[in-house]
Structure 1
């Protein structure tokens, strides 16, 4: 059965209304975070690509650890590191455990500009849930912006078999490169910061 013109128009109207609602939510959420940062330094928690490609200047950076969240290569990527035909994977912070990374401090006079650019980079599809997370650093605790993922999200992969990781590492490629390159760059950057991610090391063995 094919859609009639009236059905197609109805579907287009629903999609358009959904897109407008999503854009409005995106804008409100960004405005909310901009208001919270206004007149203050911005702290950002980097746990994956922000370690090796932050794309902003930080006045300080410190090793940091968050509790209650862990880094996992369990978020589907159908654009940046994969395609609709062969989805790739990117990292997210998932509930449970702990995560070591780097906390960056952006000066208050640059905070709003950096926040907007981070939003464009990390939130184009509104997949992540931006959150303020308490980070423990050698200089004391800070509250930093981090991009988390609920397990209820359609972008959460759940548990994947070894064969799926092998296939993804061999084939998945998007506009920013392959999933394998992304995972290896993250692993190498973590080690350069003195962080050993054993779970990631185990996954990368599937690429050998």
Structure 2
């Protein structure tokens, strides 16, 4: 079996959970990182859902691509499907990805299903910030998830202006509430 690539845009970038041969900064075209998935368990509740990241269509997304050996293909895909397809809010897709060394590859990626009940759609920064500020789930406060993501992106040298705007608005709202 041939090697294959996996594209990560959220926690998969810093916590892949699988064995890989190579890890490179990468960009997926036609999709963008977005807080577009309602979280009813981990970062919210059914009464007050939170928001988590999805890869939604439009623009491009800087992330990380992992090269996986062919011999690990089935194990890695099984792991990713258990991790990413729990509620089927994501669709497994093959994405065109540009690697930082100039290579163009096809990578497995998980794109939000716009027809799924958990799809929150495109939210304005202020809308997303208010949801994130007040939501808490089994894995903790929604704002902790956003701030942790922003810290990891910063450590990796990745700017996400929209998500940074959400983080800034959450901070401003929290300070105003004190």
| Counterpart contact for 1:51–1:186, Cα < 8 Å | no
- Which residues of 2 match residues 183-194 of structure 1 at below 5 A? 183-194=146-157
Higher strand share: 2
State which structure, 1 or 2, has the greater radius of gyration over its C-alpha atoms: 1
**Does residue 167 of structure 2 align to residue 195 of structure 1?**
no
Q: Which residue is equivalent to 1:68?
A: 30
Q: TM-score, normalised by structure 2?
A: 0.87
1:56 corresponds in structure 2 to: 18
Deviation at 1:163, TM superposition (A): 5.6
Q: Deviations over 1:85-137 (max 9, x none)?
A: 21011111111111110001122222211111111111011111110001101
Aligned to 2:141: 178
- TM-score, normalised to structure 1's length? 0.75
Matched with 2:99 is 137
Equivalent of residue 94 in structure 1, options 23, 45, 56 = 56
Q: Distance in 1 between matches of 2:147 and 2:80?
A: 22
Measure how far apart 1:66 and its partner are: 1.2
| Structure-2 change in CA distance of 1:162 and 1:99 (3 Å) | closer
RMSD: 1.7
Unaligned 5+ segments in structure 2 are 172-178
* Equivalent position to 1:152, from 83, 94, 115: 115
Cα pair 2:89 2:119 within 8 Å, conserved:
no
Query: 1:146 offset after TM fit, Å?
Result: 0.7
Measure the CA separation in 2 of the matches of 1:116 and 1:95: 25
In 2, Cα distance between the equivalents of 1:181 and 1:169?
9
Give ranges in structure 1 of 5+ residues lacking alignment: 1-38
Is the 1:52–1:186 Cα contact (8 Å) retained in structure 2?
no
- The count of corresponding residues between Structure 1 and Structure 2 is 170
Q: Distance in 2 between matches of 1:176 and 1:55?
A: 18
> Conserved in 2, the CA contact under 8 Å of 1:52 and 1:185?
no
